[in-house]
Structure 1
Amino acid sequence: MDILLCGSFDDNERDAWLAELQRALPQARWHMSATAENAGLITAAVVANPPAGLLQGLPNLRLIQSLWAGVDRLLSDPSLPDVPVARMVDPTMSAAMAETALWATLSLHRGFYDYARQQHACDWRQLPQRRADEIQVTLLGMGQMGRTCAQRLVTQGYRVTGWKLRSGAAEGVALEHGMDALWPLLACSDIVINLLPLTPQTGDLLDRRFFEALRPGAGLVNLARGGHLVEADLLQALECGQVGHAVLDVFRSEPLPAEHPFWKHPQVTVLPHIAAATDMRGAARIVAVNLQALRDGESLHDLVERSRGY
């Protein structure tokens, strides 16, 4: 089986991925680039946001397997071949995301960001302390990551409601769906955590209207994509107190430019896109399972519905 490995990573990262993938699938032949000599041999591509057009000219390509959970950049390539695309769904990554969501929720709930600001001002002042069951957390996006985060928060005693665009079910968690249900849900939310996929329907969702619908002083946690957030609208909402504090892990431009106001804003916590780093070992095993299924003519896992964008 001939497989192309390509993406927007440096040589060291590529070599590390190759070593893990070779261990997981030793019988495969791995190619680092497509050439006139090997293009007709390649039946699958394992990718990490490859440059647009890189997957053209592979006549026998049967699967594009993403190493990342998000596939919005991949699907935005108009030249992407019309073959199945699978995204990375890794329980290890979901567990890591749940840890970050819990940390952010606890920090917002207990005022730890406020205490950090007080420390810089030498301000010894105790803030009111609420119980976890008095805190309403709204979780946008109820895929595997969203469900794992919701369950972790429920275990800690928080009131959690999930929201998604389309109807569905989520065991052990209240669930709302559709835009009409979003606005009244925001009005009673103390903390909103965004884990939505980035699609034409969800881009710029976190905008002025969204923030005005929130309970005043609510916390925002964006762990999904920078394209969900209208940054100028968030800055305005922070200025007027509609949003009390924002924890941001993803941005429209990454790395976040040094001159960006988020860096020094006292009510913004900046993370460098590390809420849930990909574990190469686990991800390589997941890739191997799908590639073996492709080779054996079996059902593929975690295929993307292109019309939905995830």
Structure 2
Amino acid sequence: MINVLFAAKAERWPEYEAPLKAAFEAADLIVDLRMDFPPEEVDYIVYAPNSTVQDFSPYTRCKAVLNLWAGVENVVGNTTLTMPLARMVDPGMTQGMMEWVVGHVMRHHLGMDRNILGQNGDWTAHVPPLAQDRRVTILGLGELGSTCAQALAQLGFDVTGWSRSPKALADVTCLSGEAGLTEALSRADILVLLLPKTVATENLLNAERLALMPQGAMIVNPGRGPLIDDDALLAALDHGQIAHATLDVFRIEPLPLDHPYWAHPKVTVTPHIASETRVKTASQVIAENVQRGESGLPFLHLVDRSAGY
């Protein structure tokens, strides 16, 4: 019997219990899945960083902590977590993110806010360029960023991707390093942020880097709120350097009602919906990793503690 602790908020248990059990059964695993175990009896922890479990030292036989979220910034620095930590790379989440990003890039590319939402009797034609003449930059070429970059490239966009370390993707101009970041921003008619939150990425998009972008560029951020210096972005919007920002993630969530983003005419706020973990496919990812652990195979999607993701 494999003992798996579900360490997330209690309201998520009814949502996950049946899909996790079904995924374990499909993987031929005999699992006792519960929300409460004596710590010394736990083999795996299915984990959300907002769980009450914050001290991992009592879980002496635990083989791995399997995160339910793509982001691990709230747990990766926990010094009591000495066992392997796997982040969630969920095909359902990836598909959802790709659909959201493509939708909002197309919205900005086609000028839908102006041509559909804001006509008010104005018959003036605003014809967009073809996709091949619109430059889209993706910052972050992990699973989510790579999928979004390739989907946009398939639609004909001129796509540039930037990552901390060199990458290669078909039909995408891939850049890395500080010089590469400067070039990537200079090519960004539409900029999509899909980097993790780390010490190195916080406030990455500051006043200096916003000034590198083409005047009138647009920003789409479904990655992490702290990637953007909020005051710098508001100033760039007010001065016309940035034409519009669509933001799905924020430093404080829910976004406070008095935050300037709510009332700004050049900001679209969405309530952290770009990509949610999909229960069915996430359960299958969890079951696969438990199966690998029991078979002595390397875990998938292990976090690099030194990099922070």
TM-score (norm 1): 0.93
Give, in whole Å, the separation in 1 of the partners of 2:172 and 2:184: 14
CA contact (8 A) 2:203 2:227 kept: yes
Q: 1:140 to 1:16 in 2, by over 3 A?
A: same
Structure 2 Cα separation of the partners of residues 270 and 122 of structure 1 = 26
- Which position in structure 1 is the counterpart of 2:91? 91
| 2-structure distance, mates of 1:268, 1:116 | 17
Cα distance, 1:52 vs structure 2: 6.5
- Per-residue displacement from partner, 1:199-252 (whole Å, max 9, x unpaired)? 111111111112111111100011111111111111111000111110111111
List aligned pairs for 1:1-310, cutoff 5 A: 1-7=2-8, 9=9, 11-26=10-25, 27-34=30-37, 38-49=38-49, 50-51=51-52, 53-76=54-77, 78-115=78-115, 118-119=118-119, 122-310=121-309
C-alpha contact (below 8 Å) 1:24/1:284 kept by paired residues:
yes
Shift of 1:282: 0.6
Contact 1:56–1:79 (CA under 8 A) maintained in structure 2: no
Deviation at 1:263, TM superposition (A): 1.5
Moved more, 65-74 or 54-63: 54-63
Secondary structure of 1:40's partner?
A: helix
Contact residue 293 and residue 300 of structure 1 kept, 8 A: yes
Q: Note the residue ranges of structure 1 that are not aligned, 5 or more in a row.
A: none
Are the structure 2 counterparts of residues 117 and 234 from structure 1 closer, same or farther at C-alpha, using a change threshold of 3 Å?
farther
Q: Please identify, of 271-280 and 106-115, the stretch whose mean Cα deviation from structure 2 is larger.
A: 106-115
Answer yes or no: is the 8 Å Cα contact 1:142–1:170 preserved in 2: no
**For residue 278 of structure 1, what is the amino acid of its counterpart?**
T
In structure 2, how many angstroms separate the alpha carbons of the residues matched to 1:94 and 1:189? 23
Q: CA deviation at 1:125?
A: 2.8
From the superposition, tell whether residues 84 and 193 of structure 1 become closer, same or farther in structure 2 (CA, over 3 Å).
Answer: same
Tell me the CA shift for residue 104 of structure 1.
Answer: 1.0
Cα deviation 1:143-165 (Å, max 9, x = unaligned): 11111111110111100011011
The 8 Å contact of residues 207 and 230 in structure 1, kept in 2 or not, is answered as yes
SS of 1:20's partner is helix
User: How many angstroms does 1:23 deviate by?
Assistant: 1.6
Between 1:82-91 and 1:122-131, the stretch displaced more is 122-131
Shift of 1:99: 1.0
Deviation (angstroms), 1:184 = 2.6
* 1:39 aligned partner, one-letter code: P
Q: Shift of the alpha carbon at 1:116?
A: 5.4
Q: Give secondary structure in 2 for the equivalent of 1:2.
A: strand
Runs of 4+ that moved beyond 3 A: 121-124
Could you tell me the TM-score, scaled by structure 2's length? 0.93
User: What is the aligned length?
Assistant: 303
Shift of residue 137 of structure 1?
A: 0.4
Indicate conservation of the 8 Å contact 2:137/2:187, yes or no.
no
The residue matched to 2:13 in structure 1 has which SS?
Answer: helix
Judge which range, 45-54 or 229-238, deviates more. Answer: 45-54
Which segment is superposed worse, 21-30 or 234-243?
21-30
Structure 2 Cα separation of the partners of residues 176 and 289 of structure 1: 33
**Which whole-Å deviations, capped at 9, do the CAs of 1:81-114 have from their partners, x for residues lacking one?**
2111111112222121111111111111111123
The verdict on how the C-alpha distance between 1:184 and 1:212 changes in structure 2, with shifts beyond 3 A counting, is same
Taking only the aligned residue pairs, the percentage that are identical comes to 35
Matched AA of 1:94: T
Gaps of 5+ in 2: none
Cα deviation for residue 191 of structure 1 reads: 0.5
Matching residue's letter, 2:32: R
Opposite residue 65 of structure 2, the aligned amino acid is I
1:117 to partner: Cα distance: 5.8
1:54 to partner: Cα distance: 4.0
Quick one: distance in 1 between partners of 2:79 and 2:305? Answer: 14
Superposed CA deviations along residues 168-223 of structure 1, whole A, max 9, x for unmatched, are 22233110001122113212320110111111111111111121111111000111
